[in-house]
């Protein structure tokens, strides 16, 4: 039987550790991380120079095939949030009520996908006002859970972000 | 008689040309650009490595003393938009109905200052959804004028941004 | 009750993810990571620019107070392996039969501490010949366990390295 | 009617602001800036990382088609001053008595074109002795005008450099 | 008559001065330096950004054609020491009793080639323990000569390293 | 008896190999290289990141105490050529008829010291026109000797530059 897949949406200059930590972490738990970017089989470089290879293009993604969505931060979200496919993928995960885990600047994609209104969430402090403007209920905590939405503020929150994501993934089984 | 002063709010990793172009441009017209940052008399470095020296700290700024406000882009706005002084300065310029010129990521400060609702403006495409979420009427043009608010999208719009700013400054005299 | 502590020995230009992944990972499991370097309370920068703050100097370390030792890779091990304190700390963990987890260039410290002879272990391929010259039994696998010694080859092995380290930590309780 | 064209000669590692400021500035006044480099349609990168696309190669330039010549500084002039086409273009503008505006290291091209003798001009201080050796009359001022030749010292002089260039361009109409 | 050839084995991120100094130095004495790397006619870049062009691939090297071998340091040796051709070339020079001059991290290649046992040599301090583990007799001196093997510690030893190498080359004539 | 001293005038962003090669080379021959910069006991960094420590400030230099002067290239000469002490030191070596060896951009200092007129010399191609404008007789060769003046074009000429310098130094004894 194939491993269940977790989808990562990345953009150039992503915050390296916010991709790599959950990426390796879901492998630990027996899931298969899949990296989506504008093109498949391409090198995408983080702010600190780590390189990941995309498995699939945004256009090819079918949310039904994944158990959860991870939205890492850094400058990546700004590079991809304007793409219709990125917004559609994100909205679809919410419709399917599958776990969506966003950290740091990751919630910029949530804003673009228009799924923030009325939801409790957190983000890096510098986009707090955008989250609030978009109708989100901003909570300054290491990890915030609102139904299927898991969010954290910055790399220092990664242990709590990962624990919560893993718990959600396990409860799916 | 002293030159009339134009205030620039800058943050670390500002988009260099978006600070330097209007900075030198207002000098050409006989105005005095004043750079405000967290601390006075400090070096602030742009994304491309140009360095400006701050003249004044945000706390010391008295908007009444300036004829206009410039909000350059880059990563600077994210570094300073959460500061109460930055929000207060920005709101005060709107209350005083003095020209406010924002370019690229500059409108992130407008969002934090909560002065976007119902206004026509533009910005870098990557924060368009934030502008809209904050109640702004987003217009994709090289320069957008709504009453005292002047906005542009990116460095390529600088000639039109500057022309409009200079026109506003001259009409004040 | 205080958390049990896991000791990390770092050197300048460490492989960032090899410090950060196990660092956050042991926090997830309720342990407290402690970073040791030449000086306490100092910034130490990785190859990719991530910065960690040392908690303690090598001289101050008392191995008895920790449940395990982590030796991350990158260029860090070369910077610290010649220090007597580093060798002594490492040897002491072996004497105490506490888990020692080394990855990538981390085994350079094991060689300097002279604890490799007759042991099965792995490392980054580029120091394989040094491991063998020091009497180690080199095994090319994602994670190798020989009694208290856990070793891996490179960042791609981190999930297996971490799983094995965590298992060892849990078996201590 | 087409816009009148202003020619810029650039070389790799140009001083970014010394290209960009006059480039956008002449657009403001209704002129069309044209970038010439060794090859047409190529990316040329400044010292600070800004990229411009060349419109035309040096070989294709016909000085008769332009109203003025701009020679920005940085390390660009050293990269192109030895080329015969660059020297010929420069000399031709002098023969045609069209405005030539050089800033910072830009006068290195004037020296190579052998048009400095007996002329009043300025430059960055570090090539002052070259200007003098070439027969120039060095004047330490923010902008120096000698007939069709306009020169400035460094980025801080840009407002005065631009004002003088624009004035010269307008007097041509 | 053709110049006698001296072979250099380089790897990416070599210590620039440790390649360039002996490279130019043997030219001074009438020898011809030949750079070998994984591929022929390729750019190989040092830690500090100097670029050399490889003359020949490791596979093509026939040690009989050279009068001596130079093994510079930096991070280059780690990049190439695992290659069988590199080990074979090195061993062959020892069999032929031709001068082999290694500096800094260069002895990492000697360890991989298994030619260190019982020999007096030096290296950068950070791999001293590897040299000893491999059976070498480590001597902390600016240059150490043991039969055909010449070794030094770091760039500051270059004058003594070069003098000794040149002396060995001259005694061959 | 103390070693005879050779003086190096360096500026920030010197061409690293043009300082280091002759520096180590004169040590090989039993001379003592002395590095002069604006301040004594200071780190001066080359274009490629190598660091040298200045032994003496320009002001303290007494040319009578040295047997020769070396003027390396890179961007260093532009940083120091305007200083009166640098010009005076250079002129004094010519008056004393002691060897002066300049490479690459090093002749920029000769131009500023006004010692080029009527002399045969070479330099990096990009300042050839400055050398000629200053009255020099430019010769495109790997090393040019005119009485006490030795000059070369670029790093590739270092073996010939060094050989000629060493020959001049030895003839002094």
Chain F residues with CB under 8 Å of D133 CB are 111, 116, 130, 133-135
Domain layout of chain E by residue ranges? 5-170
- What is the per-residue burial (b if ≥16 Cβ within 10 Å, else e) of F153-172? bbbebbbbbbbbbbebbeee
CB contact under 8 A, B128 and A78: no
DSSP H helices in A3-120: 16-28, 76-80, 84-95, 107-112
Span between the terminal Cα atoms of chain E, in Å: 14
Which among C28, C50, C155 is the nearest to A159, CB-wise? C28
Q: Which residue of C has its CA nearest to A163?
A: C28
The single residue listed with the structure tokens 């470095």 is B45
Q: Which residue of A has its CA nearest to B108?
A: A130
pLDDT (tens digit per residue) in D56-86: 999 999 999 999 999 999 999 999 999 999 9
CB contact under 8 A, A159 and C24: yes
pLDDT (tens digit per residue) in C88-106: 999 999 999 999 999 999 9
Chain D residues with CB under 8 Å of F123 CB are none
Strands E120-121 and E137-138: parallel
pLDDT of residue F2: 66
Chain F residues with CB under 8 Å of D129 CB are 81-82, 108, 111-112, 114, 134
| DSSP letter (8 states) at residue E135 | T
Q: Does residue A104 sit in helix, strand or coil?
A: coil
Please state the three-class secondary structure of chain D as a single string: CCCCEEEEECCCCECHHHHHHHHHHHHHCCCEEEEEECCCCCEEECCCCCEEECCEEHHHCCHHHEEEEEECCECHHHHHCCCHHHHHHHHHHHHCCCCEEEECCCHHHHHHCCCCCCCEECCCHHHHHHHHHCCCEECCCCCEEECCEEEECCHHHHHHHHHHHHHHHHHHC
Strands A144-146 and A149-152: antiparallel
CB contact under 8 A, A24 and C50: no
pLDDT at C1 over 60: no
Chain E residues with CB under 8 Å of F163 CB are 28
The two tokens of residue C94 are 């072996």
Query: Other C-beta atoms within 10 Å of F62: how many?
Result: 10
pLDDT of residue D2: 66
pLDDT at C148 over 60: yes
Strands B120-121 and B137-138: parallel
Of residues E25, E38, E105, E154, which has the active-site annotation?
Answer: E105
Q: Is A171 on the interface with B (CB under 8 A)?
A: no
Taking only the tens of pLDDT, chain B with its 173 residues reads 468 999 999 999 999 999 999 999 999 999 999 999 999 999 999 999 999 999 999 999 999 999 999 999 999 999 999 999 999 999 999 999 999 999 999 999 999 999 999 999 999 999 999 999 999 999 999 999 999 999 999 999 999 999 999 999 999 86
Touching pair B, F by Cβ (3+ pairs < 8 Å): no
Tell me which residue of C134, C95, C141 sits closest to C118, measured CA to CA: C134
Interface test with F, best of D133, D134, D135, D140 (most F CBs within 10 A): D133
Residue F80 · residue F14 · CB < 8 Å? no
Residue E36 · residue E56 · CB < 8 Å? yes
CB contact under 8 A, A135 and B135: no
Q: Is C127 on the interface with E (CB under 8 A)?
A: yes
Q: Is D27 on the interface with B (CB under 8 A)?
A: yes
Name which CATH class applies to B5-170.
alpha beta
E strands, C72-155, in order: 100-103, 120-121, 137-138, 144-146, 149-152
- Give Dmax over CA atoms of chain A in angstroms: 45
Q: Is D118 on the interface with B (CB under 8 A)?
A: no
Taking only the tens of pLDDT, chain F with its 173 residues reads 468 999 999 999 999 999 999 999 999 999 999 999 999 999 999 999 999 999 999 999 999 999 999 999 999 999 999 999 999 999 999 999 999 999 999 999 999 999 999 999 999 999 999 999 999 999 999 999 999 999 999 999 999 999 999 999 999 86
pLDDT at D164 over 60: yes
pLDDT of residue B173: 61
Of residues C38, C105, C119, C154, which has the active-site annotation?
Answer: C105
pLDDT (tens digit per residue) in D88-133: 999 999 999 999 999 999 999 999 999 999 999 999 999 999 999 9
Query: What is the C-alpha separation between F115 and F134, in angstroms, rounded?
Result: 9
pLDDT (tens digit per residue) in B64-93: 999 999 999 999 999 999 999 999 999 999
Q: Is B128 on the interface with A (CB under 8 A)?
A: yes
Q: Is E19 on the interface with F (CB under 8 A)?
A: no
pLDDT of residue E172: 83
Touching pair E, B by Cβ (3+ pairs < 8 Å): no
Residue E3: which pLDDT band, with cuts at 50, 70 and 90? confident
Residue B41 · residue B53 · CB < 8 Å? yes
pLDDT of residue A146: 98
Q: Is B69 on the interface with A (CB under 8 A)?
A: no
Nearest chain F Cα distance for residue D31, angstroms: 32
CB contact under 8 A, D133 and F130: yes
Chain A residues with CB under 8 Å of B82 CB are 125-126, 128-129
Beta bridge partners of E101: E70, E150
Which among F27, F48, F163 is the nearest to E16, CB-wise? F48
pLDDT of residue B3: 80
Q: Which residue of D has its CA nearest to F126?
A: D78
Query: What is the C-alpha separation between B169 and D40, in angstroms, rounded?
Result: 39
pLDDT of residue C144: 98
Q: Does residue A32 sit in helix, strand or coil?
A: strand
pLDDT of residue C173: 61
């Amino acid at each position: 039987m194939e491993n269940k897949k977790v989808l990562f949406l990345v953009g150039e200059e992503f915050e390296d550790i916010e991709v790599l930590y959950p990426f390796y972490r879901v492998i630990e738990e027996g899931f298969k991380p899949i990296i989506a970017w504008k093109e498949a089989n391409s090198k995408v470089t983080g702010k600190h120079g780590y390189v990941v290879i995309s498995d699939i293009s945004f256009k090819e993604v079918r949310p039904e095939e994944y158990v959860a969505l991870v939205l890492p931060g850094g400058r990546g979200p700004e590079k991809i949030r304007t793409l219709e496919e990125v917004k559609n993928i994100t909205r679809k995960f919410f419709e399917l009520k599958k776990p969506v885990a966003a950290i740091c600047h990751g919630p910029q994609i949530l804003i673009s996908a228009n799924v923030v209104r009325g939801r409790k969430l957190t983000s890096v402090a510098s986009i707090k006002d955008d989250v609030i403007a978009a109708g989100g209920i901003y909570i300054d905590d290491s990890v915030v859970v609102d139904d299927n939405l898991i969010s954290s503020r910055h790399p220092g929150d990664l242990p709590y972000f990962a624990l919560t994501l893993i718990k959600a993934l396990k409860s799916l089984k």
